[in-house]
Structure 1
Amino acid sequence: MLVKRMEDAINDQMNFEIYSAHIYLSMVSYFESQGLPGFANWMRAQYQEEIFHAMKMFDYLNEAGGRAVISALDAPTTEWESPLAAFENALEHEQLVTSRINNLMDIAREESDHATSIFLQWFISEQVEEEASVGDIVNKLRLVGDGGALFMLDRDLSTRVFTAPKEE
């Protein structure tokens, strides 16, 4: 059974994952309005991934003797100066998510909640991949600038497909 402190912290993060999904969905619309369907596709897959994360927490809360509680969300940003600015924002956001997941692990350890520690390990590993993936695109965007290479990168990003991770 989850202690109240852990339940509240996971609920907060679950809702933050939903907020994260809203940020990426907003970026889908931004990129579509900029004529960058590949960038939009990449962000659509990112949106689906964040919803997957939220649902993983939702299910864990309910299975571990807690209760998932959905809260109101702030509206996400809708405009960015450039594709690079949008991806830099995404990278900063993923770094914030990483710090929040690490905080959850700290709470689980303080509460000697071994089951939640094991559950959170997946998210810690996932955040390494999240930051690397977005960081790689930020680096490529810095290299290509706003020139014709943006078209090629857009084409590359159009190939991303969301695939739900296998449960371990």
Structure 2
Amino acid sequence: MISKKMTEALNGQINKEMYSAFLYMDMSAHCTYVGLNGFANWFMVQYQEEMSHAMKIYDYVNSQGEKVVLNAIEKPPGNFGTPLEMFEATLKHEQFITASIHGLVDLANEEKDYATQIFLQWFITEQIEEEANDNEMIAKLKLVGKDGNGLFMIDKELEARVFNPPAKE
């Protein structure tokens, strides 16, 4: 069983993860619209990952005998600019999510909620991977600059990304 304060914080994180999914779905739609289908695929896989993160927390809250409370999801900005600008925005967003996860860990530590501390370790590791992926894409996009051929090659590379759901615990 987890505290009401922890339950509220985890419910807030579900909302943040669902917003992340919504944001990445919107970015995917934008990329499709401008003809960057590989980038669209990358962001759609990101959407699936974020939804799986939300569901992982959803399942945990339920498993602890607490009530999941869903809130409205904010509308994404909708104006994304270049692929480089999109990945810079993605990194900034993932850094926000990382800080939020760290806040949950801090709360779990304060409350001596060892089960939630253990549960959240998966998310800490996941956020390290998320930020590394974004930094890698930013580096590649800066390397090719405005070279259309380089952008085309990255777009083709991103078409191969597939969603791998996290393992059930």
TM-score bin, normalised by smaller chain: over 0.9
Instruction: Give per-residue Cα distances to partners, 1:38-93, cap 9 Å, x unaligned.
Output: 00000000000000000000000011121111101110011122111011000000
Identity of aligned residues (%): 49
Question: Partner amino acid for 2:71?
Answer: S
Dislocated runs of 4+, deviation >6 Å: none
Whether 1:72 and 2:72 are equivalent positions in the alignment is yes
Which stretch of structure 1 is more off in the superposition, 158-167 or 38-47? 158-167
Aligned length: 168
Match of 1:57 in 2: 57
In structure 1, runs of 5+ residues without a counterpart are none
What residue is the counterpart of 2:15 in the other structure? 15
3-state SS in 1 of match to 2:77: coil
Which stretch shows the higher mean deviation, 112-121 or 140-149? 140-149
Relative to the length of structure 1, the TM-score reads 0.98
TM-score with structure 2 setting the length: 0.97
Counterparts of 1:146 and 1:66 in 2: how far apart (Å)? 51
> Displacement, 1:167?
3.3
Matching residue of 2:129: 129
AA aligned to 2:43 is M
| Structure 2 contact 52–166 (Cα < 8 Å) conserved | no
Q: CA contact under 8 A between 2:52 and 2:165: conserved in structure 1?
A: yes
1:82-121 Cα deviation digits (max 9, x unpaired): 1110110000000110000000000000000000000000
Query: Structure 2 unaligned runs (5+)?
Result: none
